[in-house]
Homo-oligomer: A and B are copies of this chain.
Amino acid sequence: MNLSIATSGTSAFARASNMMDGQVYQFPRSPALCRESFARDEQICGGTDTLRVYQVVSGFVRQCHFLADGRRQIIAFHGEGEVFWCRNNSFGALAVEAVCPTTVMCFNKREGDLHGLTGPAWLALLHQAAMEQLTQAQEHAAMMCHRNAFERICAFLLAENRRAGGRGSMNLPMSRADIADYTGLTIETVSRNLTRLEQQGLIRISGQRFIEIVTPSALAAAQS
């Protein structure tokens, strides 16, 4: 796999790919040093940690808030090659968890230096990732604001398809509950709208996780 920074598709509602725009920073292809694996639903990092930067080697992670009343808000998903970190927030606990069995590379400033990333280079790398994620978080907020349930599901499927390579078929790593907490809907509403999309012939669902997009253009038109 490519270990360069690929924040593209980090937010499921972000643009297709931003690998082209701007420089692509390369993480060191070191041996297994700082490589860690996590089981499904296991926490990778929490809000109280000092700033460490991770990259998904294989698997899938979710970045989430846990609000005081027990509600959960998923801020972003990250797939293979994508970079993430954990930062304290003013409300609720913040954590990154494995959606399925996941392996990550872990870097901190000192280790980054050890591998040849000097201070400014490391900062530039972090900054690029931060700017990407900022754009995506803003788009996510805008999406929550002005799209209805049906449009959100369409946008979500299109974005996940892009993340999965854009082939039109994919195995969603996340559950309906994950989708609900990411789109700000309930699992029932997510389910109803997936069913509606299938009935309209825009997608095909096999099992619970495999989804095939029959007419991408119609889905794109429906997303807003």
Interface residues of A (CB under 8 A from B): 14-16, 65, 67-69, 71, 73, 75-76, 87, 89-92, 119-120, 123-124, 126-127, 130-131, 133-135, 137-142, 144-146, 181, 183-184, 224
Contacts and interface: CB of A to CB of B under 8 A. Distances in A.
21 contacts: A14-B90, A67-B142, A68-B224, A69-B224, A73-B141, A73-B142, A76-B138, A89-B135, A90-B139, A119-B120, A120-B123, A127-B130, A130-B130, A133-B134, A134-B137, A137-B141, A138-B141, A141-B141, A141-B144, A144-B184, A146-B184
Contacts of A65: 138, 142
Contact of A120 (B14, B120, B130): B120
A167 to B, nearest CB: 20
A139 B91 contact: yes
A209 B218 CA distance: 44
A83 B145 CA distance: 24
A138 B184 contact: no
Contacts of A75: 138, 141-142
A184 to B, nearest CB: 3
